[in-house]
Amino acid sequence: MPAKAGISPLQNIFLVEKEIPDQVGNDKLRRNKVTKQSLAALLLAAATAVAQESPFQFNGFVDTYHAVQTQHPHDFTTSRTRLRAELRVDYENAYLFASLNGIHNSILEDRTGVQLQEAYFNYQNDFLEIRAGRQIVVWGVADGLRVTDLISPVDYTEFMSSDYDDMRMAVDGFRIKYPGERVNAEIVYVPVPRYFQMPMQEENPWRPELPEKASIDFPEGPDAKFKNGDFGTRVSFFLSNLDFSISALHTHNQSPVTVAGYDPVKDSIVIHGIHETMTMFGGDLSMPIGEFVLRAEIAEYFGEALGYASNLDYARKNTFNALGGIDWYAGDNWTFMVQYLHKYIADYSHNLAAEKNSSEMTFRISKELLNNTLKLSLYGMFDIDNLAYYARVSGDYSVTDQVMISLGYDHFGGKRGQLAGYDKNREIWAKAKYYF
pLDDT per residue over 289-332, tens digit each? 999 999 999 999 999 999 999 989 999 999 999 999 999 999 99
Mean pLDDT over residues 132-157, rounded?
96
Torsion of CA 200, 206, 209, 210, to 10 degrees: 0
Residue 216 pairs in a beta bridge with 271
Q: Give which of 329, 330, 332, 303 is closest to 316, Cα–Cα.
A: 303
pLDDT per residue over 81-94, tens digit each? 999 999 999 999 99
Answer yes or no: is pLDDT of 182 > 90: yes
Question: pLDDT-based confidence at 7, cuts 50/70/90?
Answer: very low
Answer yes or no: is pLDDT of 27 > 60: no
CB atoms within 10 A of CB 263: 13
Q: What distance lies between CA 284 and its chain's CA centroid?
A: 19
Find out if CATH 2.40.160.100 is the number for domain 58-435: yes
pLDDT computed for residue 33 by the predictor:
42
pLDDT computed for residue 208 by the predictor:
85
Answer yes or no: is pLDDT of 30 > 50: no
pLDDT per residue over 195-235, tens digit each? 999 998 889 999 988 877 788 888 877 776 777 899 999 99
Mean pLDDT over residues 162-173, rounded?
90
CA atoms within 13 A on the CB side of 357: 2
Answer yes or no: is pLDDT of 179 > 80: yes
According to the 3-state scheme, what is the secondary structure of 161-178?
CCCHHHHECCEEEEEEEE
Instruction: Mark 240-256 as b/e (b = at least 16 C-beta within 10 Å).
Output: eeeebbebbbebbbbbb
pLDDT computed for residue 52 by the predictor:
58
66 vs 20, more confident: 66
Question: pLDDT-based confidence at 19, cuts 50/70/90?
Answer: very low
Cα–Cα distance between 1 and 34 in angstroms, integer? 12
- Give me the chain's average pLDDT, please: 88
Torsion of CA 164, 166, 168, 170, to 10 degrees: 170
Residue 238 pairs in a beta bridge with 243
> Going along 253-387, which residue ranges are E strands?
257-263, 268-274, 277-289, 292-307, 314-331, 334-345, 357-369, 374-383
Answer yes or no: is pLDDT of 8 > 50: no
0.75 exceeded by pTM: yes
Question: pLDDT-based confidence at 13, cuts 50/70/90?
Answer: very low
pLDDT computed for residue 18 by the predictor:
35
pLDDT computed for residue 43 by the predictor:
52
Cα–Cα distance between 400 and 78 in angstroms, integer? 26
Mean pLDDT over residues 109-127, rounded?
96
CA atoms within 13 A on the CB side of 89: 6
41 vs 191, more confident: 191
Question: pLDDT-based confidence at 53, cuts 50/70/90?
Answer: confident
Answer yes or no: is pLDDT of 38 > 90: no
Cα–Cα distance between 260 and 51 in angstroms, integer? 58
Mean pLDDT over residues 150-169, rounded?
90
Answer yes or no: is pLDDT of 12 > 80: no
**Gyration radius (Cα) of the chain, Å:** 27
Q: Is 245 helix (H, G, I), strand (E, B) or coil?
A: strand
Answer yes or no: is pLDDT of 170 > 80: yes
Distances (CA, A) of 293 to 6, 46, 185, 325: 52, 44, 24, 8
Answer yes or no: is pLDDT of 395 > 90: yes
CB 406 within 8 A of CB 396: yes
pLDDT computed for residue 48 by the predictor:
52
Mean pLDDT over residues 31-38, rounded?
47
Cα–Cα distance between 259 and 167 in angstroms, integer? 26
Question: pLDDT-based confidence at 20, cuts 50/70/90?
Answer: very low
Question: pLDDT-based confidence at 159, cuts 50/70/90?
Answer: confident
